[in-house]
Structure 1
Amino acid sequence: MNVRCIRHGFAWILMLLLVFQAAAAPALAQEATAAASPLAASVEKFLSDLQKGEENMGLYAGIAVYDWTDKRYIYTHHEKRHYIPASNMKLFTTIAALDRLGPAFQWKTEVYIDGQVNAGGILQGNLILKGNGDPSLTEEGLQELAAAVKEKGIKQVNGNLLLDESYFDDVRLGTSWMWDDEPYGYSAQLSALAVHKNFVTATIAPGQKIGDAAKIALEPATSYLTLTNRAKTVEGSKSDLTVERLRGKNEVIVTGTIGTKAAPYQEDVTMEDPAMFVGEIWKRQLLAQGVKLGPKAQVMKTAVTKGVPLTSHLSPTLGEIIVELNKESDNFYAEMLLKTLGATQKGKGSFEAGVETVSDVLKRAGIDSGYRQADGSGLSRFDLVTPEQVVELLSFLQDQDYREALEASLPIAGVDGTLKNRLIGTPAESRLIAKTGSMGGVNSLSGYVTAKNGHKLLFSILINGIYKSKYAKDLQDYIAVQLATYPDNRTPDGYAPKTPATYQLSAVLDPILDKPEAAGLTAGLIVKKVGGEVLYERDADSLLTPASNLKLLTTGAALTRLGPDYTFKTELYGDAPIAKNGVQTGNVYIKGYGDPTLHTEDALKVQEGVSIEEIAAWLKAQGIKRVSGNLVMDESFFDQQRLGLGWAWDDESYSYNPTLGALALNRGTVMIQYEPAKNAGEPVRINVLPKTSYVTVINQATTASAGEENTIAIARDRATNTIRLTGSLPLDQSADYERVPVEEPAKYVGTALKEALVKAGVSFSPNSNVEIGTVPPSAAKWTEFASLPLKDILLYLNKQSDNFYAEMMLKTLGAVIKGEGSSAAGAEVVQETLKSLGGQTNFDMVDGSGLTRYNLISARHIAAMLEGMTKSKDFAVYYESLPIAGVDGTLKNRLKGTGAENNVHGKTGSMTGVNSLSGYFTTKDGEQLVFSIVLNGYAESSKVMTGLQDEIITSLSSSE
């Protein structure tokens, strides 16, 4: 098995634990919803009217309402489809916790001593603080522990202050959490030893007068975070502030302005390795209690293997904890609770073990399978559940002795928590208790309503594809009022049961989409004649995650706005003209303009174009023998955002998640080639391309005997250029490779160029460095290098679905057309282009490749780009850039032996819970069709989704 099969080894282990196959049959009594019932009519009409608006049409909802008193469903709508639940996932976590731990459960934080305390109160040894996952520990709690240490007679510690967080594993963030969420309190890192929810609260206030720096205070006060204050005081009462923590670092930068009359601004800021933050506060509390530390005392992490218990601190009860967890929708509490479940029930404080424990409880509730849970809070977009499953869980709760504890933790409409300001003055006020959930494109509400007739109604409303969150809340609130009014609902004026539309291909395609294995999917599908009629559509306006089908828009816009012959340039400057004596005084500048093909001449090269060796050879050919200044890399054509918004933190070591910059090399990666050594037990043999000092490779991987499991893993330490190989590679495995992204791509270019120049005989002064800067106006331009034309670049981009190329393309669009090399500016150009081609722009586009799950777009939008491009004079370039079914690219091995082989030109796209295929199909009579199939949701495997797509396309062949 090569590395492509195992590089997500740990992720697949997680998925095997999280994915539960085949939807479970609901245990609750089923009753067909009468189309004419007043409740159904009211909701259906409201939803139908809502989806007619341009800003609302992409919204899609799943709804289930169960009358607990009568033991029957009174309304359902797409209740078996899977949706990202956001914070409704907390219902699963908290119910499982109450079931397994009980409302009276408390967490314990312990203090041990490892050594002897003499008569004078001096501990000759270590003081150990051990965490057991208490999510509620505060600075005051540590103060109580420090006071207890003093009361035990300890006056001085001559050893170290040791921190034990081993009760949980060392995975700090949930699966697929987004890197750009990390600075904020709702995405705090996890540790079994935590305080103040592992964030500090930064309060920013105006300075004394205009022009002064803003005043910043941190609570708790700490030096663990390095603070850079660039915020200025200005006139007025408004604030425009940004609080940023650098990725992978404990450096916080505050920028912007705050008015002299503005109210203080607050932001909760997280940190890396939070146990050490606890250690700093713990040390301060000990000193405040008069417990001295020896001159060589250090704060460090350990795992307790020996020691004598000294004192402990108990948290509030679980019943009390979940009140804050659910009413305020606290992510940190939920994740700590999930890992506690794993530690207490499975002996491992991990996400996987916690999820396994939740699944045990769900099986008791009759939910054996057919859902996915990746975390405890719902912050991960890998979570997928159905409204029916949520109601099934709420029904199970009714017969449990902890029901009151859970229900007491839910927000009450118009009264408290996240529902405090909703449904005020309506029949649902005070009669609805429910868990809310919201994040970009997602909004959910599940819980209980006391109906007008006194019946207890259990409900779940899960909404995805939200362009404007207001409309999702409007739908939820409307349903809530209708439920509180039940059974006295009235059929609204103008209501008529919705008759499903029929199309020319309905008889062919409906049976495919209605297969049982597709029940958990939302399928956005449209098939249309170019310039003609729609042959079929279903949920074609639903805003879905498109994965790499988004590249169709990026590349279509690039071809339209830049032209097929556009080339990317790379410029070379000096502080002075090229010296005739070979000794170049001053700096040499390289300015990048987003060339995605810049490469080294080795196995990393995928296309012709400009190479580092070519640039070095040109400089050598000019007679340059020595450079006295620096190599300055100018990447100012693009912004400094290295990763797309919404990209997952746990993808950062993989080549499909590259770092971005206007000056980048080898698609932002280095290559690690590896193979087994000659003998078992020896280190795996490795080779790094290019031969560069820019990365540090630590090889801890060993060769295993033939037939043993291949466990080799290659990962990069976050925010560094240190790459680690771990695991083992059996003797009978073939050589393979992995490409790994690097940090600061422009410095990578400079380092590689400097190394190539040195190899070519060009020397540098001892103080010469590779730096990031800009070309000064006084610099002399020496030459420029041009890439391949865009038409050739697009051929590689689309055939191979290259994320790096697509992102560089998007930022180039922004830079060239809008004067701003950002993804946001590029997306604006794409939307303008689609509008000019006849499409609508009511969708969210955040990156160029489709890697982020912030993207929300419909099958109709994609089809509009495909159809619009057929009118372009450059259509042939676009068409030929797409993979051809059964022939090449990402469709090489699909649809062979069907009428689609060597016919369909289409773009694939896939990631967990998402699969898409869109493109062109030519009928036997030469008529061209455009189609777009975007599938989101839960299926047993990705093969189910691709199988459905292939069956749809094959059916097009047979139905001509």
Structure 2
Amino acid sequence: MKRLLSRTGCWLLLVMLLFQLAAVPAFAQDTAVRAEPLAAGIEQLLAELDKNPESIGLHAGIQVYDLTEKKILYSHLADRTYVPASNMKLFTTIAALDRLGPDYQWKTEVYLTGEVSNGGVLNGDLVLKGLGDPSLTSADLQSIASALKEKGIEQVNGKLLVDDSYFDGIRLGFGWMWDDEPYGYSAQISALAVHKNAVNITVEPGAAAGDTPVLTMDPGTEYLQVDNQLQTVAGKGSQIAVERPRGTNRLIFTGTIGVDAPPYEEAVTMEDPALFAADIWMQRLGAAGIKLHPQAKAEKTTVTNGVPFYTHLSPPLSEIITELNKESDNFYAEMLLKTLGAVEKGEGSAEAGSEVVAEVLKRAGIEGGFVQKDGSGLSRFNWITASQMVRLLSFVQDQEYRDVFEQSLPVAGVDGTLKNRLKGTAAEKRVAAKTGSMGGVNTLSGYATAKNGNKLAFSILINGIYKSKYARDLQDRIAILLAEYPQSQAPGGETSEETTYKLSALLDPIVAEAEGAGITAGVLVKKAGGAEEAGEPAVWFEHEADTLLTPASNLKLLTTAAALDQLGSDYQYATELWGSAAPPSNGIYQGDLYLKGYGDPTLHTEDKLKVQEGVSIESIVAWLKEQGIKRVNGDLILDESYFDQQRLGLGWAWDDESYYYNPLLGALAMNRGTVMIEFEPGSGVGDPVPIQLLPKTDYVTVINEAKTVSADQPKTFAIERDRGTNTIHVTGNLPLGTAQDYERVPVENPALYVGTVLRETMEKDGISFGGNSDIRIGTVPAQAVKWTSFHSRPLSEIITYLNKRSDNFYAEMLLKTLGAVRKQEGSASAGVEVVMETLDRLGVPSNFDMVDGSGLTRYNLISPRHVAALLEGMAAHDEYQTYLDSLPIAGVDGTLANRMKGTAAADNARAKTGTLTGVSSLSGYVHTQDGQTLIFSIMLNGYTPKSGFLIGIQDRIVEALASYAD
């Protein structure tokens, strides 16, 4: 089915509206006659989007409710769940007003651990304790310092301590993306925070082209180290990038700024911001004339009792939420959410804060059916519906804080994030609403004053956006219709009837179940070959097949198809061994040894980490021994220059970095970028948990603090790697009786991992190194001598493993290989260019977004029609059989080994799975009962609390196709 597009007078629209009213009894009133022109106007806007290839993929949940007359005026997919972006802030701020009250003020406290002498000397420590104030500034710290001076403190002989224990130690929101971290909108969260835990960097051009640009920092601090690699060039343009390596406080500025360019400004973040606050605090104390001990150094502490020596109060919550909502401030929202948890639940965490929000929503009549993972909406794991938003906005109207809340919202054409929108329209000054925007997502929810004076609550949640302009335009045009209501003029136009397909009766009920659960379901089924036969359409079924959705690992279908097309199934990866000179005849090599990688994803050690035949570290060492090498007196140099230095895919979540499916990438990498830790319970309660590291290497440090507990105790066992390091912590309790198991953990700097294990293996096999020999990253020099080249198994085998097992590491290495081979740039972006060029030749339209090779990022957006077009194109490709053979077989192998067993689809359907939280997809080929080959693509996005529900929908569709016969 496709979207129902009704016009003025279409009785189907009235039936739809009445049905929606019945579904919301608290709002129930007959509104069909009054609402029809407004509804027809919005439907016409949606119809226009469906005709434009740059907007066809977006999908919107919309609801409009007349607060004056207590009735729904319009509802469209209002009970589907959508990623809300910054509309999530409305949930957070309303809950804060409800539980904390508009007059709530945050405290920042000062404690003394010793006595102050008559001469004003504190013979003890000075402690600054944060209680979550999001608005604390360096000027506030100056005021606090001045107040201490006025209270008689002249000198501190002890330590300067800071306490941020009011909140938990999780500094970033759930699922936030690592590549956002350097920027102010993704600042870390801490109970003691100054200047929104960011500093403002201003870049000004040098006096002449070639000069180094000047960087200034506000507030100035030594807590951050700035690496200025910028260059001044001629002209007025600027191309500036900032990077902060994960887990560090080093800022790297690269690029150029024109000599005539205006200053460039960027808010940049830091690790462990409480210590940044301590640095600023130390400066402010000195500026206030308070002498510090010469060896004074800021440290963390936890204050558990005592009376504050001084307390600073923030502005009231009413002022805080005004800045929060008008400017869409993520930091304020996150601090507010954790404050809710701390005040109401005694736990300053996002989880506890979200519990409080859920309690307020329950009071508003919203019980479940949504997910809140952060306070700001930066996380793409949040899911809400338009009807929930409207119900909450309606609830606010009966609360004492109504006016405070409404005054916090941006006003169309006037201020905040709506300052430059809707100017000169009927909506100017008549719409107050919260915006929300990030890649693929655009939302607007709030209030509108209609032309008849009625107050309307509305929510427009849009996902699947290819070009953001069309989403904003849709919101603005709806806002204008609301401001003109009830005099909105319904546009004319023909009625578009619902299309019936060959398999509609078979599949409609299954798809309806998904929609009834709030899921967006995109489905396309067509006969292989594409062309109509004997008047029969090639498409046997479709439902929202143009909707752009997150595909998860279905994206691997694109990567592997392009690889087969561009490289061929016989392509082999090379790994080369070079030397400063030829191999010596006496076995004592006096030069440097070089290992150059070309992206082989199968490079491995001969242990349980091996998943495919190919090049192993042991085989490289065996070759060296065959040449009689006994000693290397030079360095072991690893050349990974074939790929770029971007280790992670754009949009990958920071909190996945300890997991095998989130590997670090490099042209020279092994064991899919991971080490393995095997574990099992000890022999008795209280015993340490025995672990084994594979490969046995000193490249990683494993700290094992895990204990064995009785069988009836909960399992809290966890393996985590410190960010940006190779230190792995094994913690928690492992109950007796737990089966032996393992985890694979990604490592940093994959080339050095290869080099370390290579040297360790060489030494184990009797090849020694000189005392000054080192392992380092470098490039093979032009004068080097190539010793030999090792080759992987053919691409056909690599792709089979990749698709059967849905291996992210393989897919990302393959994508960068495409860029390196065809664009001479081993980057994901270059690889995507190659994929898009391949798809164009296969007849796949380009109006979708592809960002990585595996589907791990939620930046990817694609429709079932795109994927089906790819599958159809590959069905006519020379490499089709290899491609088909690479796909998991239902009930037989790979990621489908345990699905659809005992059905007509078993040992029949061949398809690629895809799974992320809130995402499930399945696309491939299946034979009907009478032997016809069908291509299908099923993509499901949205929140459901039912485990296995999305997979069940997919399996039932494929089983129905396999059982079908004309």
TM-score, with structure 2 as normaliser: 0.96
Q: Distance in 1 between matches of 2:614 and 2:783?
A: 29
**2:430 is matched by which residue type in structure 1?**
R
**1:192 is matched by which residue type in structure 2?**
A
Query: Match of 1:9?
Result: none
Residue from 923, 929, 940 that aligns with 1:918: 923
Query: Match of 2:50?
Result: 51
**1:514 is matched by which residue type in structure 2?**
A
1:750 paired to 2:752: no
Query: Match of 1:159?
Result: 158
**How far apart are residue 572 of structure 1 and its match?**
0.6
Query: Match of 1:319?
Result: 318
**How far apart are residue 515 of structure 1 and its match?**
2.0
**Alignment check: 8 A CA contact 2:576 2:595 kept:** yes
Deviations along 1:751-794, whole A, 9 cap, x unmatched? 01010111111111122111111111110000000000000111
Q: Distance in 2 between matches of 1:588 and 1:957?
A: 57
1:27-426 maps to which residues of 2 (within 5 A)? 27-29=26-28, 31=30, 37-426=36-425
Query: Match of 1:716?
Result: 721
1:397-546 maps to which residues of 2 (within 5 A)? 397-493=396-492, 495-515=493-513, 518-532=516-530, 533-546=538-551
**Alignment check: 8 A CA contact 2:515 2:521 kept:** no
**Alignment check: 8 A CA contact 1:67 1:458 kept:** yes
Deviations along 1:466-518, whole A, 9 cap, x unmatched? 0010010010011011111111112213x233322110011111111112774
Deviates more, 1:510-519 or 1:917-926: 510-519
**Alignment check: 8 A CA contact 2:669 2:753 kept:** yes
1:732 paired to 2:730: no
Q: Secondary structure at the match of 1:321?
A: helix
5+ residue gaps in structure 2?
1-21, 531-537
**How far apart are residue 106 of structure 1 and its match?**
0.3
Counterparts in 2 of 1:34 and 1:691: CA distance versus 1, 3 Å: farther
User: RMSD in angstroms over aligned alpha carbons?
Assistant: 1.3
Residue from 648, 651, 656 that aligns with 1:651: 656
Deviations along 1:833-863, whole A, 9 cap, x unmatched? 1111111111100001100000000011111
1:569-718 maps to which residues of 2 (within 5 A)? 569-718=574-723
**Alignment check: 8 A CA contact 2:514 2:520 kept:** no
**Alignment check: 8 A CA contact 1:24 1:368 kept:** no
Q: Secondary structure at the match of 1:345?
A: helix
Q: Distance in 1 between matches of 2:508 and 2:424?
A: 44
Q: Distance in 1 between matches of 2:577 and 2:280?
A: 51
Q: Distance in 2 between matches of 1:354 and 1:308?
A: 27
Q: Secondary structure at the match of 2:915?
A: strand
Q: Distance in 2 between matches of 1:607 and 1:669?
A: 15
**Alignment check: 8 A CA contact 2:31 2:71 kept:** no
Deviations along 1:499-557, whole A, 9 cap, x unmatched? 22110011111111112774311111000001130000011111100001111111111
Query: Match of 2:565?
Result: 560
Q: Distance in 1 between matches of 2:890 and 2:37?
A: 49
Q: Distance in 2 between matches of 1:210 and 1:267?
A: 22
Counterparts in 2 of 1:30 and 1:303: CA distance versus 1, 3 Å: farther
**Alignment check: 8 A CA contact 1:517 1:939 kept:** no
Q: Secondary structure at the match of 2:478?
A: helix
**Alignment check: 8 A CA contact 1:114 1:308 kept:** no
**2:525 is matched by which residue type in structure 1?**
V
Q: How many residues align?
A: 937
1:750-829 maps to which residues of 2 (within 5 A)? 750-829=755-834
Percent identical among aligned pairs is 64
**Alignment check: 8 A CA contact 2:130 2:163 kept:** yes
**Alignment check: 8 A CA contact 2:930 2:964 kept:** no
**How far apart are residue 926 of structure 1 and its match?**
2.0
Query: Match of 1:11?
Result: none
**How far apart are residue 293 of structure 1 and its match?**
1.7
**How far apart are residue 126 of structure 1 and its match?**
0.8
Q: Secondary structure at the match of 2:725?
A: coil
**Alignment check: 8 A CA contact 2:851 2:859 kept:** yes
**How far apart are residue 117 of structure 1 and its match?**
1.4
**1:534 is matched by which residue type in structure 2?**
V
Deviates more, 1:907-916 or 1:294-303: 294-303
Q: Secondary structure at the match of 1:729?
A: strand
Residue from 890, 893, 897 that aligns with 1:892: 897
Q: Distance in 1 between matches of 2:334 and 2:24?
A: 29
Q: Distance in 2 between matches of 1:130 and 1:300?
A: 12
Q: Distance in 1 between matches of 2:166 and 2:935?
A: 55
Q: Distance in 2 between matches of 1:598 and 1:30?
A: 67
Q: Distance in 2 between matches of 1:444 and 1:716?
A: 36
Counterparts in 2 of 1:143 and 1:882: CA distance versus 1, 3 Å: same
Q: Distance in 1 between matches of 2:860 and 2:26?
A: 36
**Alignment check: 8 A CA contact 1:24 1:366 kept:** no
1:841 paired to 2:852: no
**Alignment check: 8 A CA contact 1:114 1:306 kept:** no
Q: Secondary structure at the match of 1:830?
A: helix
Q: Distance in 2 between matches of 1:368 and 1:30?
A: 22
**1:548 is matched by which residue type in structure 2?**
S
Q: Distance in 2 between matches of 1:329 and 1:295?
A: 42
Q: Distance in 1 between matches of 2:559 and 2:455?
A: 50
**Alignment check: 8 A CA contact 1:583 1:627 kept:** yes
Query: Match of 2:857?
Result: 852
Query: Match of 2:11?
Result: none
**How far apart are residue 291 of structure 1 and its match?**
1.3
Q: Secondary structure at the match of 1:514?
A: helix
Q: Distance in 1 between matches of 2:222 and 2:503?
A: 66
**How far apart are residue 32 of structure 1 and its match?**
7.0
Q: Secondary structure at the match of 2:790?
A: strand
Q: Distance in 2 between matches of 1:637 and 1:854?
A: 25
**How far apart are residue 36 of structure 1 and its match?**
9.0
5+ residue gaps in structure 1?
1-22
**Alignment check: 8 A CA contact 1:24 1:367 kept:** no
**1:639 is matched by which residue type in structure 2?**
D
Q: Secondary structure at the match of 2:267?
A: strand
Q: Secondary structure at the match of 2:461?
A: strand
**How far apart are residue 51 of structure 1 and its match?**
2.0
Counterparts in 2 of 1:30 and 1:884: CA distance versus 1, 3 Å: farther
Q: Secondary structure at the match of 1:117?
A: coil
Query: Match of 1:958?
Result: 963
**How far apart are residue 35 of structure 1 and its match?**
11
**2:463 is matched by which residue type in structure 1?**
N
TM-score, with structure 1 as normaliser: 0.96
Counterparts in 2 of 1:675 and 1:301: CA distance versus 1, 3 Å: same
**Alignment check: 8 A CA contact 1:34 1:40 kept:** no
**How far apart are residue 460 of structure 1 and its match?**
0.3
**2:701 is matched by which residue type in structure 1?**
T
**How far apart are residue 240 of structure 1 and its match?**
1.2
Counterparts in 2 of 1:700 and 1:112: CA distance versus 1, 3 Å: same
Q: Distance in 1 between matches of 2:825 and 2:83?
A: 33
Query: Match of 2:17?
Result: none
Q: Secondary structure at the match of 1:483?
A: helix
Q: Distance in 2 between matches of 1:30 and 1:804?
A: 55
Q: Distance in 2 between matches of 1:530 and 1:507?
A: 21
